[in-house]
Amino acid sequence: MKVLAAGMVVVALGGLAGCATSPTVFEGKYSQGDGWRKGTVVEIGPAKSLKRPSYYDCRTEASDTDGNDRYVMVALLRNGHPYARAAKLPADSKLQVGDKVYVNFKDCNAPIPKRSPSTPDDEEFN
């Protein structure tokens, strides 16, 4: 009986150790714990013209005065499930549909930087 109990303790400790992994940090500065995910730009245009629904939506109620401001829709995976983030693009942004980027689903004011070409495309949704 003691051997069985000891074996169960070893298995339980092994399971707990598997859950205590270090957080993923992309390119040394974009931590998943802070809300950063890999994504792909799928739409760019005025706020009202974006067709894809966005679970994380940073669009304000676009009025006639700001209806021409450009927004970007980024497809991403969070916990293995597909989501999208809509965010306002800075006027000087060079992003294009299809660009691989990092996006922060927690912060509407975070930049949307392009990923370096050497970043693998694992866990990505388009």
Helix (H), strand (E) at residue 15: helix 2-19
SS in 3 state form for 42-54? EEEEEHHHCCCCC
pLDDT mean by block of 10 residues, the chain; 126 residues: 53 50 83 94 93 87 63 92 92 93 93 84 52
Q: Is the overall model pTM greater than 0.75, yes or no?
A: no
Residue 10 CA to residue 84 CA, distance in Å, equals: 41
CB 115 within 8 A of CB 100: yes
- What is the domain partition of the chain in residue ranges? 23-126
Q: What 3-state class would DSSP assign to 108?
A: coil
- The answer to whether 78 and 41 are in contact (CB under 8 A) is no
pLDDT at residue 44, as a whole number: 96
Burial class (CB in 10 A: 0-12, 13-18, 19+), 94: exposed
Token readout for 117 is: 């070409």
